[in-house]
Amino acid sequence: MKYYWRITKYFKRKEFTNIPSIQLVKELDCLRISTGHPIFIKNNELNMANIKNKFYGEHPYNADESRHYSKIEAYGRDNDNYIAERLLHSKTMSITEKIITIALMQVGFKEGVNNDNPFGAFFNTNNASWCSFFVHWVLVKAGLITKEDLTYSFGLARQTFTNFAMSKTDPTQFSSGEMIVWGKKDSWQGHIGLVLVNDRVSETIYTIEGNISNKVKIKKYAYDKLNYGHYEFLGVGNLKSVIMDQLELSDIFAKYESIEENKNESTR
C-alpha cells in the first residue's frame, strides 16, 4: 500500500473568499512542488470556490510547466472564474491553451485610479487605455511573442491589426487564442480582445477583453452583431504565422457565471 504525506493548508475565511480560485490552485501547486508530495484537500470550503480535488498521485503538469505557471501573475478578482479541468490539468498544453488559461486568470481585474493597471505597467506605459496592453501581455506570458517582437505601436488596436501576419473576417473561421479588433468609426481609436471560443452551432463568438468598463471581462457576440455602437469590426488574426486551435465551449466554460452579452460598454 502506498502512503502519502498529508499537508494541510488553512485559509482565513476572508482570505478564502477574496482570493480567486486560480490563485488557490497555484498556491497549492507550489506547495506540492516544494515538498515533492501530493496535496490532499480536506477543507470542504474549497468546494465553494469550485476547486477540483486533482492533487492525488501524479500531477498532470511536468516540473517545467509547474514552475512556469507558478510565475504567471493572476490579477483576476472574479470568484466565478473557474478554469475548466481540461485546460488547468492538461498534460501537454498547446500555445492556444496557454493563451486562454493565462487570459482567464485575469478575469475580474479592475483598474485602479487613473487607469492604473499591471498590463500597461509591464510595458512601461501605465495610466493609459490598456485593452491592447492586456492582449499583448497575455501573448508574451504565453510565449507566443516576446517584448522584442513588438516593434510597432502595440498600444493601439488599429496598429496591431495592420501588423497581423494573417487576418480573416469570416466568423466561421475564427479560432481560440486569436486577436479580434474593432475600429471606432471616423477615428484613429480602436479596441482589441482575444477570441475564447467560436461556437459555430449558435453562431456566437466568446471573447475576453481588457478595459471593458475598467475591467477584464468575458463577452459574447452573435456573428451578425460584431459591429456595435460606434465600433466597426475589422478582423481577427495573430502576429505569427501560427494556426491556432479551436477549443470547445465545454472545455472553457464548464462552470462560468460571468459571461455577458455585449452591452456596448465603454472601452475608453
Q: What is the pLDDT of residues 83-105, one digit of tens each?
A: 544 455 556 778 998 898 888 88
- CA gap 168, 59 in Å, rounded: 38
> Nearest CA to 176 among 74, 262, 82, 253?
253
- CA gap 79, 110 in Å, rounded: 13
pLDDT at 108: 83
Look at residue 250 and tell me whether its pLDDT is greater than 90.
no
What are the tens digits of pLDDT across the range 99-133?
988 888 888 888 999 989 999 999 999 999 999 99
- Higher pLDDT: 67 or 190? It is 190
∠ CA 19-195-67, rounded to 5°: 45
All structural domains of the chain with their residue ranges: 13-104, 113-261
pLDDT at 229: 83
| 3-state DSSP assignment of residue 217 | strand
What are the tens digits of pLDDT across the range 1-18?
444 444 455 555 555 455
Lowest-confidence range among 44-58, 77-91, 133-147, 228-242?
44-58
Confidence (pTM): 0.75
pLDDT at 30: 65
- CA gap 258, 173 in Å, rounded: 25
Q: Which residues contact 255 (CB under 8 A, 6 or more apart)?
A: 50, 80, 82, 84
Q: Which residues contact 109 (CB under 8 A, 6 or more apart)?
A: 75, 76, 77, 117, 210, 215, 216
> Nearest CA to 93 among 40, 38, 141?
141
- CA gap 31, 34 in Å, rounded: 5
Q: Where are the alpha helices (DSSP H) in 125-236?
A: 131-142, 157-162
> Nearest CA to 102 among 120, 87, 124, 121?
87
- CA gap 74, 79 in Å, rounded: 12
Question: Average pLDDT for residues 130-151, to the nearest whole number?
Answer: 94
pLDDT at 6: 47
pLDDT at 67: 53
What are the tens digits of pLDDT across the range 159-180?
999 999 989 999 999 999 999 9
Lowest-confidence range among 12-16, 67-71, 199-203, 249-253?
12-16
Look at residue 218 and tell me whether its pLDDT is greater than 80.
yes
Question: Average pLDDT for residues 144-166, to the nearest whole number?
Answer: 92
Place of cell 487576418: 167
- CA gap 112, 196 in Å, rounded: 26
- Higher pLDDT: 158 or 52? It is 158
What are the tens digits of pLDDT across the range 25-80?
566 666 666 666 665 544 444 443 333 333 333 344 445 555 555 567 777 765 44
